[in-house]
Structure 1
Amino acid sequence: MTFSATTILVLALIAAVLITAGVWAYTTANRLDRLHVRSDQARLALDAALDRRAVVARAVATILHGLDDPQLVEQARRLASLADRAERANWRDRETVENQLAGALSAVDSALLPPQLVAELADAEARVLIARRFHNDAVRDTLALRTRRPVRWLHLGGTAPLPTYFEIAERATAAASTGLDVDTVRTSARIVLLDEQDRVLLLRGVDPQIPDVPFWFTIGGGIETGETLREAAIRELYEETGYPADSSALRGPLWRRVAVFPFNGELIRSEELFFALRAKNFTPEPGSLDFIERRSIIGNQWCTPTDIAHLDHVGETVYPYHLDQLLPEAIAAADADADPEVRSIR
């Protein structure tokens, strides 16, 4: 039996389509599997952060109970009860209990607590905030792929249950305050951007009101209303360098830094979350800077650890501190397949 050229062409096209569809289905299923793993890890991290806050809440309750004030004793009992309920609650009901616990902690007068416990509570609350945002980012990315029609039709998600968002109130509590009268409180997403030679891209900046004192800092800025950490990081990367990137390439957050600093006549308290990202070397061309950024960003440079140490030596401070010593950690995170555990830095 012989086949005409047309028949062979049609069969070849059908085979190509089938192969392409098969490759797409295989890669999509693998990507979906990685997203599910990421969602599961994020949920475990959030669960651990919530458990730690419950432990600290019980420590706060113990202190309040020992002050021999009837109102404080009642407050202590409520705190301890909510902490116990939060730890025992199933995932479906935990949002409600955690919101109640957060409200009870907000009502605590931090002046009644030892400074070390105030700091521990502030750190526990901050870790819950980070873990919750990281968890919801993972859920969003998983659902975005899982709910596509071809993925549903081909059952590429298998029998894994759909992940769900965890919605709890984000509030600035008394325990999280700095004790200073700040003008602005913000959360920032930052990127340690590395090229093929493990150099980090730093921006050179000044305070518009003190233009003769330059300093250096990593890519990034404040999160806008409705943004996730990853969305803010990618937006800031494009605005400040013109480099487009996919948020799935980010690794982290790997560091958390809380800083209080004056800028443009205001005192700002910023909680900064750092991601690592690998990119091919390029010449930064800002995509979209606002008025303040155009006045405050005056240069950029790809830097080695030696370069960073030299900048510090000549009096041009680099933020975060000791970035030259931190770079190996960022390099390892950028090249890893999984996100690292976040830790605090200066």
Structure 2
Amino acid sequence: MTASLLVLLCLAVLVVVGGLWLIATANRLDRLHVRTDAGWAALDAALSRRAVVARAVAAAAIGGDEGARLLSGAERAEHAGRADREEAENTLTLLLAGTVRTTLPAALADELSDAEHRVVIARRVHNDAVRDTFALRRRRKVRYFKLAGTAPQPQYFEIAEPDPGPHAETPGEPRLSARVLLVDRRDRVLLFNGHDPAAAGSSFWFTTGGGVEPGEDPRAAALRELHEETGLRLPDGRLQGPVWRRRVRWEFEGASYDGDEWFFLARVGGSPGAAGAVDLAVDTSGFTELELATIDGHRWWAPDELRTTTETVYPVQLGLLLPELLDSGWDGEVRAIR
């Protein structure tokens, strides 16, 4: 067998093996998209049932303005489009949380607790499917060969989970956090990349910041966290806000948390759009042991990158809302985001 023939044979084997891998990966990705669609269908059904039960509670057991607000919230959640669904469902969660359940008929109270419990389970199943789909879609070969085809990117459903009653897990530990939108002269925001040691393959980007210590003001906590994580020591006057507030339930290292995050804005590196901009040096020598073990890197993200990335970024509305904040400036109001 000549050398050229051997080379051709090796190439043919590589092509066949590569083709089989691509087919297998495409099939797996297709199954993940089917799983994600099924997860959303189950979550949609659970949310719809909760809204029906909420209407029953409002009509049968609650009167006056409180009943009218609950009925309106339930109807809004039932008819909201996908883009407005999270806000509507969060509003309904808050309304149900204020309902005095001891005054409800036992059968109706049990049905409400069951409906809320099913929402918790369905949301977690759906978001797990989205996470696994994103993890495969982010692989370089999958993106290069466009194995996802025309399938739309799945979306996390980010709502504060309702208290699902006595049969569910215990509520998450409350955690107040202060976070900083650190933006350079090219309107790029600094994000850190991290992972959860308890969730294999997890990878997500997030803003600088962390927990508020007992007795500490969120604004002071934001400046302290900024210095510890980036080496930058800014005066209080350079910090705007809080501009955003985010309520979210999340898990890390097997523990659940009920997060209350306050976001501040800080510009560094000179005037916006100025010529000759260079990357601002970031000093991470102040990281804690936990941060050293779970943060894998950092970089500056441009607004266009945030809007088009397939990677997981928190908060999920960052790419949509940050350009608006930078263009229009802060109006002095704290905006609720997800």
Give the alignment's TM-score, normalised by structure 1: 0.48
TM-score (norm 2): 0.49
